[in-house]
Chains A and B, each alone.
Chain A
Amino acid sequence: MRCEDCLPLVEEYADGEVEGRTAELMSAHLATCETCAAALDALSFEQEIYARYDRGLEVSPTLWARVSAEIAREPLAESHDEGRPFLTRLRHNLFAALGALNVRPALASALALLIAGIIVGSLWLTHRPQAPAKVAENAPVKSVIVSPTSPAAVSSGGGDVAPVASPLTVNSFEESPGMAETYRDNSREYAAESKPRNVQHTAEVDVATLLVDAPAAKPNPNIVFIRPDDHAADAADNAPLFVNASASAHGTVANDARLLDPAETELARHVEQAQMLLRSFKNARPNEGDTVNVAYERKLSRRLLAENATLQLDAETRGDKDTKQVLDSIEPFLLDIANLREQPSREEVRSIRERVRKNEIIAALQVY
């Protein structure tokens, strides 16, 4: 071996990263070549100096206490099971159960899919929108809770305003005659183009119909609007936002609204808003430079954070572990977003988005 072959490898050799025949050749060369041996000595001397580097660091006894306290907030046993999204849990449990029966993997997969299909089918049958019953048009309507959405936003998939599904109390027409009038007037205008409205005497309104027909005259403070400029991003990212808003209006929250008590409704609204916030954050568009405008998300996040704390307390008081778990899982993301600067860098936003993605938090909230 010659010096020009040996010298470039001296660092690797000193690091113990040269092996086999090359190491043998280098070793032989270093034994006879003063120049190369001097280079190796210099590196060894440097290594000795660095080995003397003492940071004066000791692991503080409080460090474990801090780590322990932090992880106690989310015990692993729970986070490994209850904290997972419902579908993940279901999949794991099914595979575990089938695995325990010693079924061959391929058969186990097929059975798992079959069972999952049956469960999904049953859930769909249970929660599918009910066909509205016919009622007299001017029948009095009691208060119901609905998730408002804008037909325009749903149909266009990129309208100016996409409302976040949020419970909205529609007062009885008896109690608000003015509104009833407005509603009736608008009903007439819509009558020609929309299908006939069916309202139940028993004070239930078909939510979807109401949403389509409801007048947009008075802004409701309960409705949170997502700024249009933040969500004109790519279609793939936007699609779930609108689909979900629509789905929420026709699906879970709205259809189950009449089954929920006020506390549950508030919780459902909160979870839904958190979900929408995360989607909104995910879709937030970067500015010209290296920053992302998340002023709206920050503001909403701060509000939801306060709400989250109250709901966590309620859930804890009720001993409702599942709800507590969900709220606990939302909290770090709300905190992260709330603590961002108004114009954080892409990297800061990316890091939070990455965690949102890894934790499958949006999916978990959607399932919840």
Chain B
Amino acid sequence: MNERLAVNTMSLELGQPGAHAGALMNSTQELVARVRAGDEEAFRLIFDRYSRPVLSFIFDMVGDRSLAEDLAQETFVRAYRGLDSLREETKLSTWLFAIAKNCAREQLRTRRRHEGNVELDAEPAFELHDKARTPSGQLLDKELNGVIQGALMKLDEDKRTVFTLKVLQQRSYDEIAEITGFSVGKLKTDLHRARAEMRRRIGPYLGGEQ
């Protein structure tokens, strides 16, 4: 009985999303080479490895869950079809983020034309409910998430891209420069200004925490 239980547990684990843990044992170069040789399972491993950060990044850029999924799909499809253009296999992640950034920005531009620009200094989409917030940690975090997301959406596109990549995705300046095509000087300036804007918008919340 115990034996059977153990086997079942193993099967269950293998069937779970993390079951493609083999991805961790494959170097990026190996995976890319395998995909180029026509091994679609290798691309599945790449997807498993990078889908979450790519989806998060796109979500931070567009602020819409369903749209972020569509754009993540587009990102991976473009990546698959354009794998030949990847020069340095070690930079797969940077390359994927660059594709994701392009997808997100194309979408944002299309949307902006339809809806009109969002004014940077308009009222934040997510207002703090009141100064004395509920002590419940869960609610606090929920509110924090809303405040951060709202503040992010108020940043202009360049600042949001740089801020998201640096502060939320922990990318290096060099990587951000490669992903965005910005000079390091520009991205430093944008990042500094984005931090200041974010600070101003979530300031009351940060003040409460301190």
Q: Are chains A and B native binding partners rather than an unrelated pairing?
A: yes
> In this complex, what residue of B is CB-closest to A8?
B192
The CA of A109 and the CA of B68, in the complex, are separated in Å by: 46
Question: Are A80 and B36 neighbours in the complex by a CB distance under 8 Å?
Answer: yes
A34 within 8 Å of B (CB atoms): no
Question: Are B144 and A76 neighbours in the complex by a CB distance under 8 Å?
Answer: no
**Number of A residues whose C-beta is below 8 Å from B?**
38
Overall SS of chain A's interface: helix
The CA of A257 and the CA of B154, in the complex, are separated in Å by: 60
Stretch of A50-58, A265-273, A305-313 that contacts chain B: A50-58
Contact among A57, A60, A71 for B43, CB-based, below 8 A: A71
The CA of A68 and the CA of B59, in the complex, are separated in Å by: 21
B145 within 8 Å of A (CB atoms): yes
* Interfacial chain B residues near A75, Cβ < 8 Å: 38, 40
Stretch of A144-152, A156-164, A343-351 that contacts chain B: A343-351
Question: Are B36 and A76 neighbours in the complex by a CB distance under 8 Å?
Answer: yes
* Interfacial chain B residues near A217, Cβ < 8 Å: none
> In this complex, what residue of A is CB-closest to B184?
A17
* Interfacial chain A residues near B209, Cβ < 8 Å: 45, 49
Contact among B59, B83, B192 for A57, CB-based, below 8 A: B59
The CA of A66 and the CA of B164, in the complex, are separated in Å by: 26
**Number of B residues whose C-beta is below 8 Å from A?**
54
Contact with A along B104-118 (1 / 0, CB 8 A): 001001100100000
B167 within 8 Å of A (CB atoms): yes
Question: Are B36 and A348 neighbours in the complex by a CB distance under 8 Å?
Answer: no
* Interfacial chain B residues near A53, Cβ < 8 Å: 144-145, 148-149, 168
Contact with A along B62-84 (1 / 0, CB 8 A): 00010011001100110011111
Contact among A63, A76, A348 for B83, CB-based, below 8 A: A76
B56 within 8 Å of A (CB atoms): yes
Given contacts A53-B149, A57-B65, A63-B72, 5 further A-B contacts (CB under 8 A): A46-B195, A49-B148, A52-B144, A61-B17, A63-B73
Report 19 cross-chain contacts, Cβ distance below 8 Å, ordered by A residue.
Answer: A11-B191, A17-B172, A46-B206, A50-B168, A55-B56, A57-B52, A59-B55, A60-B69, A63-B55, A64-B47, A67-B76, A71-B40, A71-B43, A71-B80, A74-B81, A76-B35, A80-B36, A347-B109, A348-B109
